[in-house]
Structures are given as structure tokens and as C-alpha cells.
Amino acid sequence: MQIIDLRLPACYNVAELYTGLAYPVNLPRYPLRINVGFLLNQPVGTRRDIHFAFPDLRLSPDLEVTDFSGVVQITRMVQGMFVEFSCTANTGLECVRCLAPYNQALATSFQEVYAFRRDQVTESGLLVPEDGNIDLAPLVNEYMQLEIPIKPLCRPDCKGLCVECGADLNTETCEHQKSIRVSP
Ligand SMILES: [Zn+2]
Ligand SMILES: [Zn+2]
């Protein structure tokens, strides 16, 4: 079995992934960044849980969520960090039937390996950056985007709007609905 000596940073080759070096951890700009450095010197199999909770969170320019709650479990492996993540949140959407804004509940979870070395990456190509700061936001955004319904509905049985007069059929009835019902 190959054991990586993490005291030799020369085996890293991730300079091009250096995006956050100039910023301290826990700036609001990187709310989902975690520093895994504290695990590097721990025995293989060591696991830590980190919890997140934000009333508002901007995952990307086109996805803002509220009531974000998540947990990440990080396990020190021989060749990298095994990251298990799960979260729930709400996001504001517009119902395709009645056009009303509503809060859509979202939930997702994923497992990924962040490798220590480029020649050990999994097919997702994730590496532990040299500074030990893993920013989960891009992945969380990717997975949460997949949870957004293609046809958002404020509720499964939304009755929508009358095509004739635009009445919200969830809250009112109109003459057009009556005529549709009696017509053959
Ligand atoms: Zn609706
Ligand atoms: Zn109508």
C-alpha cells in the first residue's frame, strides 16, 4: 500500500487551483469553505463533522436559498479526503400554473473524494488545494440546481389560471370554468 507523506508538499501540483489563498477562511464570501488541514496529520479513518446553518445563502449568481442547513462529514483516507455532504434549504420560485411566487423546499446529498495528488483523483477530478481549504459551494450549487423542478408548482394540485380571464382558480371560480364544465 502506498502511503503519502503529507509533510512533503512538493508532491502537490495544484497551483492552478489556487483561488482562495489570499483570503482567510470563514469570510462570508466563502461560507461553505472548510479547512481540512487539521485532519492531515490524523490517522487514516479519522472523521469529523462540520455543521452549517445560514438564514440566507447565495450559492451562485442564479441560486439564492434561505434556511440553509447542512452537514459535512470528512474522513481522512490514504489518498484523499472522503467528503459526505447533505443539506436542506428553500428557494423562491414561480409556479408555472398560477404564476405565484412560492418557497420550494430543496434537499440534496453527495459523496466525493478530494484527492491529495493529481494522479490519484477520481473521475470528478477533485483535489485538496495546497492550502487545505476546500470550498464546497461550487459542488453544493451544482447538486442543488439539479433539485430545482423543471416545472415548478406551488402545490401538486395547483389549479392554475383561467386561460380566458386570468382568474386564479385556486382562490376563485369564473364563468369560463362553468361553461367548460357544462359543454360536452
Ligand atoms: Zn400554482
Ligand atoms: Zn375565466
Please say if the pLDDT value at position 163 is more than 50: yes
Exposure string of 133-160, with b = 16+ CB inside 10 Å and e = fewer, is bbbbbebbbebbeeeeeeebbbeeebbb
Gap from CA of 149 to ligand 1 centroid (Å) = 13
170 contact partners, CB below 8 Å, separation of at least 6: 98, 158, 159, 160
How many domains does the chain fold into? Answer: 3
Residue 128 has which C-alpha cell? 485538496
Structural domain boundaries, residue 23: 1-28
Check whether residue 183 and residue 133 sit in a common domain. Answer: no
- Give the model's pLDDT for residue 28: 64
If asked whether residues 144 and 172 sit together in one domain, one would say no
Same domain, 4 and 58: no
Ligand 1 center to 55 CA (angstroms): 25
Q: Are residues 164 and 148 located together in one domain of the fold?
A: no
Tell me the CA–centroid distance for residue 94 and ligand 1, in Å.
8
Give yes or no: residues 118 and 171 share one domain.
no
pLDDT number for residue 8: 38
Give residue 135 CA to ligand 2 midpoint distance, Å: 51
Q: How many Å lie between the centroid of ligand 1 and the Cα of residue 91? A: 15
* 40 and 126 both lie in a single domain: yes
Let me know whether 4 and 65 are in one domain: no
In this model, does residue 93 exceed pLDDT 80?
Answer: yes
Average pLDDT of the chain to the nearest whole number: 85
Residue 177 pLDDT level (bands cut at 50, 70, 90): confident
pLDDT band for position 7 (cuts 50, 70, 90): very low
Residue 89: pLDDT over 90: yes
My answer on whether 35 and 80 are in the same domain is yes
* Whole-Å CA distances, 59 to 1, 20, 52, 151, 153: 39, 16, 13, 21, 22
- Here the cell at position 112 is 466525493
1 has pLDDT over 80: no
Mean pLDDT of 16-26: 39
From ligand 2's centre to the CA of 164, what distance in Å?
5
Give the tens place of pLDDT for each residue, 100-138.
999 999 999 999 999 999 999 988 899 999 999 999 999
Which is nearest to 152 in space by CA: 90, 78, 82?
90
